[in-house]
Amino acid sequence: MSWGSSLFKNALGAWLAANNASSDNATAEEIALTYGRAAMTVEPMMYTGSKPITLKPNQTIAAGFIASFKLARLMTVGKPSPLVWLPAATSIVAYWTAVPFTPMPPPPGGLVGATNITTFPGLPTPLNFQIGSAFQKEDPYDVAEALDSAFKNHLKMVTGLWAGTAPAAPSPIPYVFPWVGLK
């Protein structure tokens, strides 16, 4: 499996379409909740089967979106600058900082894994631009689809490192496998 794209788009799109947003905080919490659910199934692009062991609390993301919504509300004219969306984008980056993944199954050439962790959680830019563009959409499902696309683009920048052993004679040898991108 990979990023729960259909789960994210359908759940958030339906929630936005039902106009359940009693406040910006409620919207931020729903984005964070659906993001957390979709993130549970990501795996490295370069090999399959390794899943996150633990993820940050959804509140990490909610706090970033709450801050961005507050900044956006402070604007009196025009559409919000991409800078407004930096807290939201930074919260996504923080979410992926030092996330442990299952060391099994091993990547190509690996035998027994000891650790598998994200080493670079991506950048908040261009994610902040893409989040800002998403909130310029009129249709709630288009907003959800644009956010989904932004989040998937960001996941391609996340990198990690699997460390374990590789087969060799007479005994296994240390083996490190850097991976790039989550799907």
Rounded Cα gap, residues 31 and 18, in angstroms: 14
Could you say which DSSP state residue 83 is in? G
The pLDDT tens digits for 94-129 are 999 999 999 988 999 999 889 999 999 999 999 999
Question: Which of 107, 106, 97 minimizes the C-alpha distance to 60?
Answer: 97
Please provide the average confidence, as pLDDT, over all residues in the chain: 95
Question: pTM of this prediction?
Answer: 0.94
| SS3 assignment for 3-15 | CCHHHHHHHHHHH
Give the C-alpha distances (Å, rounded to integers) separating 103 from 70, 100, 115. Answer: 40, 9, 5
Q: What is the pLDDT of residues 54-102, one digit of tens each?
A: 999 999 999 999 999 999 999 878 888 999 999 999 999 999 999 999 9
The count of domains in the chain is 1
The pLDDT, as a whole number, for residue 76 is 79
Pair type for strands 159-166 and 173-180: antiparallel
Q: What's the domain range around 96? A: 5-180
Q: What are the angstrom distances between the C-alpha of 180 and each of 21, 47, 100, 120, 124?
A: 36, 10, 15, 9, 17
1 pLDDT band (50/70/90 cuts)? Answer: low
> In angstroms, rounded to a whole number, what is the distance separating the alpha carbons of residues 74 and 56?
29
Specify whether the CB–CB gap between 52 and 40 falls below 8 A: yes
